[in-house]
Amino acid sequence: MTKAKPKLGDLRVWWIPQIPGKAFLVDVQNTYEAKLMLGTLARYDTFQLVERVRPDFSNIGGLEVFGVDGWEDWADEDGEDIYRTEMAKIEGIK
């Protein structure tokens, strides 16, 4: 669940388990929690596929930060998003 009134700098993970679809939103305290949440959601979707809980899926997720204009995509100091900086390491993508 997300907070009713976010403050500047607040973070939240978004996850769409089946594209197109509505995003599942979770507040996180920092990028470590975001990486943990995104990794868990990705592994859970993979588990469901392997165990034939659902036949197929096309998922996507990321991290947002609350800025002066509302929620926007989070990026590190090099301008890379959370997937490129961390999730790719988990998934073994270069």
The answer to whether the predicted template modeling score (pTM) of the entire model surpasses 0.75 is yes
Range of the domain at 40: 11-91
Residue 4 lies in a domain: no
Query: By the 8 A CB rule, do 71 and 64 touch?
Result: yes
pLDDT confidence bin for 72, thresholds 50/70/90: very high
Higher-pLDDT residue of 63 and 78 is: 63
Query: By the 8 A CB rule, do 28 and 34 touch?
Result: yes
Q: Which of 86, 24, 16 is nearest to 58 (CA)?
A: 16
DSSP 54: S
Higher-pLDDT residue of 66 and 3 is: 66
Q: How many domains does the chain have?
A: 1
The helix or strand, by DSSP H or E, that contains position 33, with its residue range, turns out to be: helix 31-50
pLDDT confidence bin for 94, thresholds 50/70/90: very low
Residue 1 lies in a domain: no
Residue 18 lies in a domain: yes
Of 38-42, 69-73, 79-83, 85-89, minimum mean pLDDT range: 85-89
Secondary structure class of 38 (helix, strand, coil): helix
DSSP 18: S
Residue 6 lies in a domain: no
